Structure 1
Amino acid sequence: MSSLLIVTVLIVIGALLFDFINGFHDTANAIATSVSTKALKPRHAILLAATMNFVGALTFTGVAKTITSDIIDPFKMHNGHAVIFAALLSAIAWNLITWYFGIPSSSSHAIIGSIAGAAIAASGFAALKYAGFLKIIEGLVISPILAFIVGFIIYSIFKVIFRNYNLTKTNRIFRIIQILTAALQSYSHGTNDAQKSMGIITMALIANGFVTSTDIPLWVQVACACAMGLGTSIGGWKIIKTVGGKIMKIRPINGVAADLTGAFIIFGATYVHLPVSTTHVISSGILGVGSSHRLKGVKWGTAQRMLITWVITLPISALLAGIIYHIINLIF
C-alpha cells in the first residue's frame, strides 16, 4: 500500500470522526427545544434526530462542493494531505473543547477556519480563494442575524393568532406539532452539516490524485451520512441543557417557532450551496423568539457567552490549524 493511499485513508477516517463528533456536538440544535418542553423524551428525540440527520445527509451535495472548491483550490494545493489533516485535527480539537464545557460553538466556523489556517501556513495568504471564502463568511455572519429576525417575526405572528386560545390546550397541540418540527429541523441539519465532511474527503481525494472532479462520490455521501447519524445517536447532553434551557424558558409554542425558524434558514442556505452554522442559526432563532415573547425572559448572560465563542472560533481554529500543520511538517 502506497504512503499516499495510507495518508488518504487516515484523512477519510479523520473526516468521518469529525462528522461523528459534529453529530453528537450538534444534536442539541435539532432536539433541545422538544426535549425542554417534554414534547419528546430524550431517547426518542435523539433517535428521531439521528434518523432524519441521516436522510438529510443523503439528499444534497451543493454545500459539499462549496467546501471542496471555494475556500482553496484542491487541484493546486501545496502539500494538500498535510493541510487537510491539520485542518481536521484542529476542528476536532476545538469541537471537543467546546463540547466539554457545554458551549454551543460552531463546527462550521471551526472547519472553515481550520482549512483556511492550514492553507495559509502551507502557502501564504495567496492560497485562499477570496471570492468564495468571503461568500462563505458572509453566509456565516448573515444567517444568525436572519434567524433572529425570522424567529421574532414568526413568534409575533403566533402571538396574534393564538392570543385568545386556552393556554393548556395550546401547549398540548404545539407539543404534537413539535414532533414534526423537530424532525424537520433534524433533516435540515443533515442537509447542511454532514456535507462539510463530504467536501473535505473529496478535497483530499482530488489533492492526492484519486478523483479528478468535484462531484461527491456516492460512497462518501453514505459514509458521512452514517457517521453523522451515529454521532447524533449519542447526543450532546451538555449542549442540550444550554440550548434547551439556559437561553430562555421554552414553551411548546416557542419551540415550534424556533424549530420553524431554524429549518427555514438552514434549508435556504443549503439551497444556495452555502455552509452555515446550525448552532448559530438555531440559537439565534431561540433568541429572536424569546425577545418577541418577553425581552426580560431571555438570559442575555448565556447569549453573551455564546456570542464570544462564536466570534473567537474561526480565528482560534485557523491559528490552531496553522500550528498543527507546522508540527506535522516537522514530524514527517
Structure 2
Amino acid sequence: MTEFFDALGHMMSSTPGIILISIIVLSFVFDYINGFHDAANSIATIVATKVLTPFQAVLWAAAFNFVAYFISVYWIGEFKIGNTIAKSVNENFITLEVILSGIIAAISWNLLTWKFGIPSSSSHTLIGGFVGAALAHAGGFNAEGESVIVYSKVIPIILFIFMAPLIGMIIASILTIIILNICKNAKPAKAERWFKRLQLVSSALFSLGHGMNDAQKVMGIIGAAVIFYHMNIDFDPAYVNAEDKFQYFVGHWGWVPITSFIVIALGTMGGGWKIIKTMGSKITKVTPLEGVAAETAGAMTLYISEHFGIPVSTTHTITGSIIGVGLTKRVSAVRWGVTISLLWAWILTIPVSAIVAALIYYFITLFI
C-alpha cells in the first residue's frame, strides 16, 4: 500500500502523471455508466416477464457481473478483450491526450444515448473515441508510413456490429424452436412456472458474459495509458522488454481488473430504466420461455466472442436474440420500426464517437 501511495504522489508531481490519473478515474466513471447503461441487456426480459422486480433484477445481474472476475482470472486465465482494446491503435500514435479525449467522448455518447433510452454499444463508443482521437493526433489514417489503426484488431470489431446480433438471432430462433418442440405436450401453467425459474439461470449466464466482456474494455484503456506512461514519461525498461506489455501491466497493476469488475457491478445496480423498457417490451413481447431462449443465446454469443478476444456489444447481442425469438412466432411480431432505429444508432456510434473524440482532442491540445 505504501508503494501505491508513493507512486501516486510521484504521478501527481507532473502534468503527464495528472493526465494519467484523470484517465484512470474517468475510465472507472465510464465503467460505472457502462453498467447502468447496459443493465437492461441482462435484466430486461426477467423484468418484462415479472420474474423479478426491477430492484431484485439489478442486484441479481450485478452479483454475476462481479462473479465474472473470478471466472476470467481462475478459469480463462487471461483478459483477451482488454488486450484487443489496448492494441486497437498503433502504439506509435497513442498519447495520454489521445486516450483522455477518447474516454471523454465515450462517456458523452453513453450519457446521451442513455438520456434518450437508446440501447447503443458502450464497446463501440469506446473504440470509436480511441480511434478518432488517434487519427486526429496523427493527422490522418496513415502517418510516417505507418497505419494509425491496427486493422487486424478493429475490423473484427466492426464486423461483429452485424455478426453479433445475427449470431444471437440465429441461436435464439433455434433454441426457441427446440424448446417449443420438447415442451409441446406440457401444461402451459406448469411450463411457465419452470421457465420463470430457468430465466434466473439464463439471465445469470448473460450477466457473467456481460461482466467478462465489458469490464475488460476499461482495463484495455487504462492499460494503454499506463504502458505509454512507463515507456515515454516515467521510463520503465520492464515495460519495453515485456513480451506482452498488456499482460505485464495486468500483473503489476492487479487492482485494476478487480476494480473494473466491482465498478461495472455497482453501475448495473444503478439500472438504466429507459433502456430496460425499450429492450423488454418495445422490440417484441417476450414470454418466460422466450426470455430463457434469448438470454441463453445472448450468453452463448458473448462466450464465443470472449474465446476469440473480440469485444462485442452486449446490447447488439441481446437485441438480436430478442428479435430471434420474435421471428419464431411471425415476422410481424417484431416491431421493425424500433429495430431499424436501433440499427441506425449502432451504425452511427463508432463514427460519431470518433468525430467527437477528434474535436475534444483538438480542444485539449490547445491547453496542454
Q: Into which bin does the TM-score normalised by the smaller protein fall?
A: over 0.9
Deviation of 1:236 after TM superposition, in Å, equals 0.4
SS of 1:293's equivalent in the other structure is coil
Query: What is the identity, as a one-letter code, of the residue corresponding to 1:313?
Result: T
Q: How does 1:151-162 map to 2 (within 5 A)?
A: 151-162=172-183
Q: Which residue of 2 aligns with 1:317?
A: 353
In 1, are the aligned partners of 2:32 and 2:263 still within 8 Å (CA)? yes
Matches within 5 A, 1:27-46: 27-46=39-58
Alignment of 1:14 with 2:26, yes or no, is yes
Alpha-carbon distance in structure 1 between the residues aligned to 2:311 and 2:28: 18
Give aligned-pair identity as a percent: 41
Q: Distance in 2 between matches of 1:268 and 1:114?
A: 25
Aligned to 2:150: 129
Is the contact made by 2:124 and 2:350 (CA closer than 8 Å) also made in structure 1? yes
So what's the TM-score if we normalise by structure 1? 0.96
Q: What residue number does 1:68 align with?
A: 86
Mapped partners of 1:318, 1:136: distance in 2: 15
Name the structure 1 match of 2:6.
none
Q: 2:223 aligns with which of 198, 202, 212?
A: 202
1:53 partner letter: N
CA contact (8 A) 2:164 2:320 kept: no
Bigger shift: 149-158 or 239-248? 149-158
- Aligned partner of 1:264: which letter? M
Partner of 2:145: none
Are 1:58 and 1:221, in contact at CA under 8 Å, matched by a contact in 2?
Answer: no
- Deviation, 1:278, is 0.3
Give, in angstroms, the shift of residue 133 of structure 1.
1.5
> Which position in structure 2 is the counterpart of 1:193?
214
Deviation string, structure 1 residues 249-290 (Cα, Å, up to 9, x no partner) = 111001000010000000110111110000000011000111
Are residue 282 (structure 1) and residue 318 (structure 2) matched?
yes
C-alpha separation in 1, matches of 2:115 and 2:298: 24
Once superposed, which parts of structure 1, at least 4 consecutive aligned residues long, lie more than 4 Å away? none
Q: Is the 8 Å Cα contact of residues 57 and 195 (structure 1) preserved in structure 2? A: no
Q: In structure 1, give the amino acid aligned to 2:126.
A: I
Question: Does 2:339 align with 1:307?
Answer: no
Deviation of 1:58 (Å): 4.7
Given the alignment, which residue of 99, 102, 106 partners 1:87? 102
One-letter amino acid of the counterpart of residue 187, structure 1: L
Q: State yes or no: 1:97 paired with 2:109.
A: no
Deviations 1:5-37 (A, max 9, x none): 111100000100000000000000001101110
Query: Partner residue of 2:367?
Result: 331
Query: In the alignment, what sits opposite 2:4?
Result: none
Pairing of 1:201-240 with structure 2 (within 5 A): 201-209=222-230, 212=239, 213-215=245-247, 216=250, 217-240=253-276
Q: Deviations over 1:191-248 (max 9, x none)?
A: 1011000000000001111672211231110111111011011100000011011111
Q: 1:302 to 1:83 in 2, by over 3 A?
A: same
| 1:145 to partner: Cα distance | 1.1
How many residues align structurally? Answer: 329
SS in 1 for 2:46: helix
Q: Is residue 165 from structure 1 mapped to residue 177 from structure 2 by the alignment?
A: no
Structure 1 residue 4, shift from structure 2 partner = 1.6
Q: Determine helix, strand or coil for the equivalent of 1:104.
A: coil
For residues 19 and 285 of structure 1, the distance between their equivalents in structure 2, rounded to whole angstroms, comes to: 24
Counterpart residue identity of residue 68, structure 1: A
Q: Name the counterpart of 1:4.
A: 16
Query: What SS is found at the alignment partner of 2:38?
Result: helix
Q: CA deviation at 1:164?
A: 2.1
Please, which of 260, 270, 294 is the counterpart of residue 330 of structure 2?
Answer: 294
Letter in 2 for 1:294: R
Q: d(CA) in 2 for partners of 1:135 and 1:261?
A: 20
- 1:175-186 equivalences in 2 (<5 Å): 175-186=196-207
* Root-mean-square deviation over aligned CA pairs: 1.2
- Structure 1: segments with no counterpart, 5+ residues: none
